Amino acid sequence: MTTTRTHLDRLENQSVFIFREAYHAFKNIAMPWSMGKDSNVLIWLASKAFFGRVPFPVLHIDTTYEFPEMLEFREWATAHYKLNLIVKINEEARARGIGYETHDPVTVTHELKTVALQQAMAQYKWDALITGIRRDEDPTRAKERYFSRRNAQFEWDYKDQPPEFWGQFATTAANGEHVRVQPLLDWTEVDIWRYIQRENIPIPKMYFAKNGQRYRSLGCSAITKPITSNADTIEAIITELETTRTSERAGRAQDHHERNAMQKLRAKGFL
Amino acid sequence: MKQSGNPHSALRTPHSADAAHLRIVFVGHVDHGKSTLIGRILSDTNSLPEGKLEQVQRACAAENMEFEFAFLLDALLEEQEQNITIDTTQIPFKTAKRNYMIIDAPGHKEFLKNMITGASSADAAVLVIAANEGVQEQSKRHAYLLSLLGVRQFCVVVNKMDLAEYSEVRFLEIEKKYREFLQTLNLETNVFIPASARFGENITARSTKMKWHKGPTLAEALDGMTPLAPPTDLPLRFCVQDVYKFDDRRIIAGRIETGMLQVGDELVFSPANKTSAVQSIEHWPITPPEPSARAQDGTAIAGDSIGITLREQIFVERGYVGSHSKDAPIETNRFHADLFWIARQPAHLSHLYTARLATQEVKCQIVSLDEVMDSSSLERSPTKADQLARNEVGRLTIQTRAPIVLDNHDRLPPLGRFVLVDDGMICGGGIIHGGIYTDRGAIKSKNIFWSEGKITAQARAAQHGHRGAVVWLTGLSGSGKSTIAQALERELFIRAMHPYVLDGDNVRHGLNSNLGFAPEDRVENIRRVSEMAKLMADAGNVVITAFISPYRADRQRARAIAMEGNAEFIEVFVDAPLEVCEERDPKNLYKKARAGQIREFTGIDAPYESPIDPEIVVQTNQQSVEESVASILERLLPRLK
């Protein structure tokens, strides 16, 4: 009989609790899935919460700039977890010629990710989205809530957020609004890796070093740069993270294109 | 899931030891040095990002400003740049012993709303008091609010000792005063540390200027605190979130708030009071990856999000609370609480809110507000107000529309606290006290009506919180029956009761529209009203009738009819001398009667037979409407319990 729980057990318990609260509170719910490490931890936790199934659709916003390895992983994991996968491409923007070849990363990210998400929301009328954002990723995410309301324009009013305490959340969305449910909010990057290690969660191989380089965060192939690293095992990655003081998203161009880029993206509805 | 066929399986080595995390909320009166203290801790524990200290120091030099540790915090948060203020911030730091998360919020008026989110899950609090200014309003207010939120461990830093000449006398004076205050909040033994955040005295390094201090430094004190242990030693409370039927299993999913649960345990589910044994604790993946930190040994403890199957298939749904039959929770529809309010709109006595307690959700009303705490003096004073404003804390009574399962907060915190929700927004939080535990066997026989059998008057009374009754007002025209009836109805209504007034206005036009004012019609009028009142009282309402009903025989029959329906009958004589009523003459009926335009008008050319032994008499020529209603309430309310 075990009566102690580790830090990871506590995080897992809390995330599962939030998954179940969200599934109960919202009739029409979906989970964006990027195939990145956090996203795969979400799939894993959902499978734990609902005993082996993900009882809502997962949404991949396909920017058409996806790494081939990621698309291969997508097909494998969809079959493996028996996911109800929805793939969404902003065909209209692509038709207009929006692309990294001709436009700046903030514009492209907005069009091919945020607008694509808005199109999917308009089509499927979800009243909640389960996302994998974490508080430690970026200063703008530090103020987030587990249940975070977005208005019809996808805007986030971070200055007047409802409090969350004693396991009670703001679980209602008015017409046209939706709620972002964020079960990984309290996890750190190292927690994610330790959990992937402990649970043996499948992730794309691009996170592991090959020829002295690896991807720490995965986005569009055109604007995501690998870091210099020899970390080819999870243990090596954890060791690397515990000594680095560089930010996780340093390799993601859209965050750094201009001052406060992340803030602007998020205020417009980016995850 | 088969791991062997998984091409994306990550390479594995056993994961490193899992260090405990401690969440600490930092509070203090404005300008007592909280930001400086946080900056100093981050710096002295090497928890700052690379180059941050030097960067801020260079920036200060360039601006010709003296460097302050408080700037570090500002720089770290980039609050000015990000334009995000007025909310909780979380900042990590590390000591050799463990990881910490600092929860910080501006110490101003919005403190409560901003602090709740982070502070309610804090393991401990650091409270900063400046040695030169001593204990101030917010020093007390913050500690009180944190204690309401559930924080039990406090560490008090008497900061700015450099401005008090590192005086032991001054330190002891503040310690004594503040310790006394903390004791009134029933908080645990607390650590007091004399310190100077500015000069780094007693933060991570022992001060040479205050050798008289034998206690710990702040870092030592923090390392000495314990993360909140899962409350496994309390009685079991398994709060059901949902019931899943994805396959042939019927899985009851939920979180164990307190205590422990094992396969084979007999569980009582409240409020239904049905029992069943735990058949299994379900897991996914069915075979855990090795080496997993998580054992699957048929045991679950406080904090665990689990799913179980039951041996006997009893009805269970979200909101039900599983416990062992010994040490079961309280089941009630009325409870006492201390409620803090954070919504802009004040809390109103008559408003219908939704109470959420763990996974339960029930409609409720605040039925009495007894005391309001002054937010600056922390003194409680009796109140006659019928609302609770933002940032106030009230001691009050809540009545729910359906039974709710709860515990007293001092016994079992997770089931002893609730939030009130209005229009989807959390407006306030409360902690429950004074609930009475009864033997669950006895409760079972008494409360069985919640789930089965015919709905009895007793069951209705339990749900409504009062019995049905007929309050029969009788008196001359102009004596004040209708006015009193309406005022009385309102008073009962704001107490979450179910009153309804029957008077000429709503009876004569419909039910009795075929009746006139001839003596036999009057008798029939009263008979129908009596029958109507009986039915409504049987349905659980407090029916207030306002008819002259001048004949004793009619009123006696009304009483007999009510008694047939087992309804309480309370005759209220609304007494005023004829001259007074005639003087008032609100509808000009007396004038018309005197002028002969109305025949057989009670008091003029028809008799009024005064009650011989009414339950209640009010004299409206001597008592105001409020006084009359108050004297009726005083006698009426005990009869409705």
Is A41 in the same domain as A86? yes
B336-353 confidence digits (pLDDT tens)? 999 999 898 999 987 999
**Same domain as A155, residue A61:** yes
Residue A238 inside a domain? The answer is: yes
If asked whether residues A241 and A201 sit together in one domain, one would say: yes
pLDDT of residue A270: 64
- How far is residue B183 from each of residues A177, B136, B140, B410, measured CA to CA in Å? 47, 17, 12, 15
Q: Does one domain contain both A204 and A123?
A: no
Average pLDDT, chain A: 88
- Quickly state the pLDDT bin for B479 (edges 50, 70, 90): very high
Alpha-carbon span A7 to B230, nearest angstrom: 12
Taking contacts as CB-CB distances below 8 angstroms, the residues of chain A near B246 are 50-53, 55
Q: Residue B35 catalytic?
A: no
Query: Can you give the pLDDT at residue B451?
Result: 39
Considering only CB atoms, which chain A residues are within 8 Å of B342? 163
pLDDT at B290: 67
Q: Which of B13-17, B227-231, B484-488, B516-520 is the most confident on average?
A: B484-488
- Our CA dihedral for A76, A77, A83, A86, rounded to 10 degrees, sits at -70
At B511-550, the pLDDT tens digits run 888 888 778 888 899 999 999 999 999 899 999 999 999 9
* pLDDT for residue B94 is more than 80: yes
Strands B99-104 and B21-28: parallel
Domain check: are A169 and A206 in the same one? no
Stated as kind and residue range, the H or E segment containing A43 is helix A37-49
Interface probe for B, chosen from A145, A198, A235 (most Cβ of B below 10 Å), is: A198
Burial class (CB in 10 A: 0-12, 13-18, 19+), B594: middle
pLDDT digits (tens, 9 = 90+) for B358-376: 999 999 999 889 899 876 6
Which residue is listed with tokens 């700046």?
A104
Measured between alpha carbons, how far apart are the two ends of chain B, in Å? 59
Q: Is residue A32 part of a domain?
A: yes
Residue B320 CB-density burial (10 A; 0-12 exposed, 13-18 middle, 19+ buried): buried
Same-domain pairing of A12 and A121: yes
**DSSP element (H, E) containing B502:** strand B499-503
Percent of chain B whose predicted confidence (pLDDT) is above 70: 89
Looking from the CA of B335 toward its CB, the CA atoms found within 13 Å total: 32
Q: Distances in Å between the alpha carbon of A13 and those of A33, B99, B216, B249, B303? A: 21, 20, 34, 21, 7
Residue whose tokens read 């009230």: B394
Same domain, A153 and A163: yes
pLDDT, tens digit (0-9, with 9 covering 90-100), for A136-190? 776 666 667 899 988 877 777 766 777 889 999 988 888 788 999 999 998 989 9
Q: Do A52 and B11 touch (CB under 8 A)?
A: no
Tell me how long chain B is. 641
Confidence of residue B119 (pLDDT cuts 50, 70, 90): confident
Reference A107, options A215, A257, A240, A260; nearest CA is: A257
Using the CB atoms, write b or e for A226-252: b if 16+ within 10 Å: bbebebeebbbbbebbeeeeebbbebb
Helix (H) or strand (E) holding B360: strand B360-373
Number of domain units in chain A: 2
Looking at the structure, tell me whether residues A106 and A219 fall in a common domain.
no
List CB contacts (< 8 A) between A136 and chain B. Answer: 92
Distance from CA of B333 to the nearest CA of A (A): 21
Of A105, A122, A102, nearest in space to A113 by CA: A105
Q: What gap in Å lies between CA B36 and CA B52, rounded to an integer?
A: 15
CB B625 within 8 A of CB B487: yes
pLDDT at A138: 67
Instruction: Give me the half-sphere count of Cα atoms (radius 13 Å) on the Cβ side of residue B110.
Output: 15
Domain containing residue A122:
7-188+259-267
- CA B409 to chain centroid, in Å, comes to 11
B143-163 pLDDT tens trace = 888 888 888 889 999 999 999
- Please report, as a single letter, which amino acid is at residue B312: E
Query: Cβ neighbours of residue B115 under 8 Å, at least 6 residues apart?
Result: B25, B27, B88, B103, B105, B145, B146, B149
Task: State the pLDDT confidence band at B314, using cuts at 50, 70 and 90.
Answer: confident
Give domain status of residue A99, yes or no.
Answer: yes
- pLDDT attached to residue B88: 56
Nearest residue in A to B233, CA atom: A3
pLDDT band (50, 70, 90) for residue A200: very high
Do residues A200 and A141 both lie within one domain? no
* SS3 at position A197: helix
Query: Residue A2: inside a domain, yes or no?
Result: no
Mean pLDDT of A233-241: 92
pLDDT for the residue B145: 86
Three-point CA angle A136, B418, B457, nearest 5° = 155
Q: Are both A75 and A123 inside the same structural domain?
A: yes
Note whether A232 and A158 are same-domain residues.
Answer: no
Task: Assess whether A134 and A221 both reside in one domain.
Answer: no
Name the average pLDDT for chain B: 85
Q: Residues near B380 by Cβ (< 8 Å), separated by ≥ 6?
A: B371, B372, B373, B374, B395
Walk me through the domains of chain B, giving residue ranges and CATH numbers: 21-223 (3.40.50.300), 237-288+297-323 (2.40.30.10), 330-453 (2.40.30.10), 460-640 (3.40.50.300)
The chain A residue lying nearest B229, using CA atoms, is A4
Domain with A159 in it: what CATH number?
3.40.50.620
Predicted confidence at residue B8, as pLDDT, reads 44
Burial class of residue B35 (count of CB atoms within 10 Å of its CB; 0-12, 13-18, 19+): buried
**What pLDDT score does B61 carry?**
83
Nearest-Cα distance to chain B for A122, in Å, is: 23
Q: Does residue A230 fall inside a structural domain?
A: yes
Cβ-based contacts of A163 with chain B (< 8 Å)? 113, 116-117, 342, 426
Token pair listed for B475: 């008196």
pLDDT tens-digit map of B219-246: 999 998 887 788 999 999 999 999 999 9
Higher pLDDT, A40 or B83: A40
Cα angle vertex A73, ends A72, A75, to 5°? 70
Cβ pair B426, B419 in contact under 8 A = yes
CB B100 within 8 A of CB B41: no
- What is the CB neighbour count within 10 angstroms for residue A216? 24
Is A250 domain-assigned? yes
Q: Residue B1: pLDDT above 80?
A: no
The contacts of residue A268 (CB under 8 Å, 6+ apart) are A110, A114, A154, A155
Could you tell me if A46 and A31 are in contact, meaning their C-beta atoms sit under 8 angstroms apart?
yes
**Three-state secondary structure call for residue A26:** coil
* Average pLDDT of the residues in B393-421: 93
- B35-64 pLDDT per residue, tens: 899 889 988 988 777 777 888 788 888 878
B7 with A76: Cβ contact below 8 A? yes
Rounded to 5 degrees, φ, ψ at B107 are -90, 45
Asked whether residue A1 is domain-assigned, the answer is no
**CA distances (Å), B203 to each of B195, B220, B226, in order?**
7, 9, 19
Peptide bond into B271 cis (omega under 30): yes
Residue B246 three-state SS: coil
* B473 Cα to chain A: minimum distance (Å): 46
Q: How far is CA A173 from the centre of its chain?
A: 21
